[in-house]
Amino acid sequence: MNEKGPVSANSEIILNIKSQMQQMNPAQTRIARYILENPDRVEGLSIGNFAKESKVSEATISRFVKFLGCANYREFQAEMVKSNILNHERIRGYAGVDNMNDVYQISQKIFDTNIQCLVDTLSILDCKAIEKIADLIVKSRQLWIFAQGRSVVTAGSLKHRLHRLGISCTIYSDSHEQAMAASLMKKGDVVMGISTYGKSRTVLKNLRIASSRHATVIGVSGYRGTPLEEICDIMLVSSSNEETSFGFEPSCATVAQMVMLDCVYILITNSMKEEANECFRLTCEAIESERE
């Protein structure tokens, strides 16, 4: 049994690498994966040895560290040392569970991965964005959400909570319904697009329509620098621990996004105060009548 418990938040450079992975070219992705899988080997490597280990050129390494915001390779190495990641157990997706047989060991890996993602998300949480989103929804008293695939699960969680407050929330997952809803939007309307990778074509296309109609566009994603971010007026970005090919699309990002939106929900509740309490009373009575 692992006695350490969940690890502390990842360093800034590690979070930066993870958040930018969807925007990297194949060579950059290969470097990023090598860093995430071999942090103990990267720290202290010369640029030549690092290039050899990750099977790219030294020039590619130099471009990569600048892509991360470091002035040069020396600064990159300083950031790696400062992160002190050698003292932390690395958690990357569900990597390794395919070689595990013990049920508790597998379960612990899955729980630890999700906990790590929540800790990392808290460390990069944009509180001002959460406050702005809550304020917009309170003023509008309605929200449209465009989502597809597993993002519909995240959307459904927020919809259920907002309905408890008497706020209208509609989820559109069908491309035609999204297009029709977007075409009818107007200034003052609030629409949220949820896309873990920030690249869902249908969601992006219809958010652009909504934006052209002067609606306020909110984005929720697990990565920075995505096409979704280019469209949105406000972005909420979670951390993502999905750098693995095994167990593709684990629940980490979905869980983190649901918790971020719970923060929005609580701010809305606090803002509505007595009205929220009355809504809770009425909805609790309604739900109680459905129980045996």
| pLDDT over 70 at 255, yes or no | yes
189 within 8 A of 211, measured Cβ to Cβ: no
| pLDDT over 60 at 10, yes or no | no
Beta strand ranges found along the chain (DSSP E):
142-147, 168-172, 190-194, 216-221, 234-237
| pLDDT over 70 at 35, yes or no | yes
223 within 8 A of 19, measured Cβ to Cβ: yes
Pick from 152, 155, 174: nearest CA to 163: 155
**What average pLDDT does this structure show over 191-197?**
95
**In this predicted model, what pLDDT tens digit does every residue of 156-185 receive, in sequence order?**
999 999 999 999 999 999 999 999 999 999
| pLDDT over 70 at 289, yes or no | yes
**What average pLDDT does this structure show over 90-109?**
72
**In this predicted model, what pLDDT tens digit does every residue of 106-151 receive, in sequence order?**
888 888 888 888 988 998 899 999 999 999 999 999 999 999 999 9
pTM, whole model, 2 decimals? 0.74
Distance, CA of 167 to CA of 146 (rounded, Å): 17
| pLDDT over 70 at 248, yes or no | no
Distance, CA of 204 to CA of 217 (rounded, Å): 11
148 within 8 A of 197, measured Cβ to Cβ: no
